[in-house]
Structure 1
Amino acid sequence: MKSFLISDNKDTLVGLRLSGIDGVLTTSKKEINENFKRTLEDKDIGIIILTENVFNEIKEEVLEVKINENTPLIVTIPDRTGLKDKNFIMRYVKESIGIKI
């Protein structure tokens, strides 16, 4: 299984390429959707890594895949400026299982 990055930040893309993770740089929502769909179709990819801005652009599509599919694992990471949404994990848990922690 391979990992694949969909990023809107060149620094994140270069950093992960140096660690052996392939990826693409996207600039528009259309490109993000095309790359996300193409990545889902590739059965060799086990982990899809999205930067926070990319995730926010296609949030509904990503959450639908997370709910309905077993693979691939989809992970959201901050870019070099850090996590923008500090309550992301708390909100995700609340939306997923309905419990406020």
Structure 2
Amino acid sequence: MKMYLISDNVDTKTGMRLAGVEGVVVHEMEEIRNALDEALKDRDIGIILITEKLGKLIADKIKDIKLNYHTPLIVEIPDRHGTGRTPDSITKYVREAIGLKI
């Protein structure tokens, strides 16, 4: 199994390429959806890395894949500008998922 990157940033793609991860840089909504569809067709891809910015743009598609596909695993990663998440995002996620305040 291999990883594949869908990024909106050349620097992120370059860094991942140095780690042996192939990928594509996209900006438009249609390009993002096409890149994701092409990655889903490749049965050798086990993990799709997508930058958080792009993940937000196609959140509905990512949610559908996570719910209906066994593979690949989709992981949203921060780009070189950092994460768009709030400091308590993991705590909030746990609270929403299981109803416990930690």
Q: TM-score, normalised by structure 1?
A: 0.89
Q: CA RMSD in A?
A: 1.6
> Displaced runs of 4+ in structure 1, greater than 4 A?
90-95
Deviation (angstroms), 1:34? 0.3
Number of the residue aligned with 1:42: 42
Q: Which runs of structure 2 are paired with 1:47-62 in the superposition (5 Å)?
A: 47-62=47-62
Cα deviation code 1:11-33 (max 9, x no counterpart): 10000001100000001011000
Larger gyration radius, structure 1 or structure 2:
2
Measure, in 2, the Cα distance between the counterparts of 1:77 and 1:2: 17
Q: Please list the CA deviations of residues 11-69 of structure 1 after superposition, one character each: whole Å capped at 9, or x if unmatched.
A: 10000001100000001011000000110111010000000111011100001110111
Amino acid corresponding to residue 79 of structure 2 in structure 1: D
- Specify the alignment match of 1:32 in structure 2: 32
Please give the secondary structure, in 2, of the residue aligned with 1:63. Answer: helix
Partner of 1:81: 81
Question: Using the alignment, how far apart are the partners of 1:44 and 1:79 within structure 2?
Answer: 24
In 1, distance between residues paired with 2:31 and 2:94? 29
- The equivalent residue for 1:21 is 21
Number of equivalenced pairs: 100
Looking at structure 2, the residues matched to 47 and 12 of structure 1 have their Cα atoms a distance apart, in angstroms, of 16
Instruction: Give 5+ residue unaligned stretches, structure 2.
Output: none
Structure 1: segments with no counterpart, 5+ residues = none
Deviation at 1:93, TM superposition (A): 4.2
Contact 1:46 1:72 in 2 (8 A): yes
Percent sequence identity is: 43
Residue type of the alignment partner of 2:44:
D
